[in-house]
Structure 1
Amino acid sequence: MTHSIVGPPTSWERALIASLRAAYAWSVRSSERRAMHEVARMTGVVMAAHGPGVGPVTPREFAKALHGRLGLLPAIADCGDEEIADAVLLSGDCLTDVAFDLACEYAAPLGEAIDKATWMPSWTRMRAEQIQQATYSAMIGSGKQEVYVDSRKFLIEHPAVPSEADLQELVASTGALLAPNGYQPIPSDQIHHVGGGTTWWWACPTCRWPMAVTGNRVRCRYRPHTASYKIVSGAKASARPSLDRIDSGPRVATPVAQPGADAVCVETGIWRFIVVPGATELRLYRELTKLGAAVALWPDLDDYDLLVAVGITEHKVDVKEYRSARRLVDNLRGARSSIEVLLPDTHEYQFAILKDALPKSIRVTTERRFLARVRKQLKEHR
């Protein structure tokens, strides 16, 4: 589970939040008439964070700065996090993948008047826990653990569907409880347009959400989902296009193009805060079950992620996928000693940092270490 800023944002955090909002607005300025007004408002927020006469003072100067390192903005230069200082939010007119990563961990409200810009996506103006809470409120409506698990699994397993009608049919057949307006048409930058108005999209092999389309390149916005592709057009303009893998990551099945005309997907905040970590949680659940352990998902309506039992030995596990190890350390300082923090394979590099920075009472493991421990316990139990 992922959490964002705790308490009021500091000066540099306000500048970062404003930069994320301005970057999104700049990326949609050709289709959204209110976008430049938003860039101007966020320029004012950053100017206030910088102080008089420091940093960009016009919207276009600010937009130009967002195409370079965030650390060049005076208010962010001393944030103390090299990953943030080195981040670039815009490439041409497109948001970079790192912009979504930063929004995941730092998005927060900037004030009631500013946050009335509801045309902005939720991930630019709301804390992660606000989006999670709105989604969870619907899923726990019955008060039944099994309904909650089924509803959460529904979002993770069906983050995109062919049409609204298909969505309603799936909901009716599973009994899932979903938040209102949780699904929307697939965003335009995740759709491939071909001749005659035909559109296509591709599901990420890992999280199943529509991958970003940039020219003839396709990849998931979540960087640890590493598969990248080149679009290969069909013989006819309206023919179904295919993908060629262009990276050297782990082998996965190549996604097949799906018609985009009526397709819908979960909104970006739900994808990043629920579907992305949920894909890892479900994968671990299946791997541990296959090994022979007894595993429960999200016990006590998500008090933690996995309860893993081998005989009378139980492990309470919380899976953590943070971009910033520093941010994770800050948010784990008050963690319960009864729950073990697990870093998936994609984040194993953070293990040594956490072990050095956290009190010994907070237990940290990695996917590889944890699976090895469970295998040993199962062998001994048999």
Structure 2
Amino acid sequence: MNAVSNDVSAGGVPGATVAIIGAGLAGAACARGLQAAGVQVTVFDKSRGVGGRLATRRAGVNLPGQAEAVEVGFDHGAPQIVARSPRLRAVVARAEQAGVLAPWAPRVHAPWPGPTHGPGHIALPGMPGFVRHVLGDTPVQLAQAVQRLQRGRDGRWRVIVDGREAGVFDQVVLAMPPTQAAALLTGHHEVWSEALAAWPMCPVWTLMAVTDEVDWPWDAAEPPTGALTWITRNDRRPGRTRLPGHAVWVAHAHAAWSQGHLDDDPADVAEALSAALAESWSRDERATVRWHHRAVHRWRYAASGRPPVDARLCWWDAGRGLGVCGDYLAGGDVDGAWRSGDELGDRMAAELESMGLLAA
């Protein structure tokens, strides 16, 4: 059973203690490795749920002839899990056996084959389910926005949430976008803080919509032109809500388009992306199809704006007890997030073992 709660109490049994700030896949992978080695781990996240960009949003949609709103899920973050590294492939295989993941081999309409077009997996019943599976029984403190870190004279780290101490830890891992990590590192590791503050990240606006059914023979598409880079028929994915006579869409805008419209009113963004989505329909359907739900989400830190600066998948400073991991350090995709967090967990566990700081 997943130990996911809003309780911010810290444990007190002997052994090394680690705080991981960020409950996306990188943080979960790091936590998994440390927990397996016997390290006491507590994960903090400012959101109300785990997953990071392995995300599913649910909304009540009012449909014609329905007395009550129908709950519909939109996988509005990373569209699938494509495992390339051996460890992630093994975890994915076990998760599929446990019913946490289902294979997804979409029929993709695109001008040329791309890395996202191959078969992968999606989580059931929503994308955060895989991160919950990886975390297992790791304590996770949700809706806890960490404001700052304080290092005491004893060398241990105080995690400050809402002006109060939420726990004291031997080591801290920052598994979050680089700009956010930079803020927490200020005053503690200026070299890292400056490097991460300057790390470019690309935004993405995402449209979530429900329309009348459309004659659209694909499961996903990569438009060759226009504002959108990826369109998915969410209702055709395994385990997702199907609405007879209706279509459920998720559409991601190009990073360049999103940057140019970063601070636009969400209603204007929804209108523009709806028009871009409709360009993939026939002319008659563009004129007659009704929209039953439209919403947008802005991923401010959706993808790295540059390749990794070196071969390191993660950053670790043993002297300070500070670590950094995230997909932006390892290629920017789901597999990269896993490799970064997994590598950091291995390095930390090995060092703690060599120091005799692992609980018996």
TM-score of Structure 1 vs Structure 2, range by shorter chain: under 0.3
Q: Which has the higher helix share?
A: 1
Relative contact order (C-alpha < 8 Å, sep 6+): which is higher?
A: 2
Q: Which has the higher strand share?
A: 2
The TM-score normalised by the length of structure 1 is: 0.23
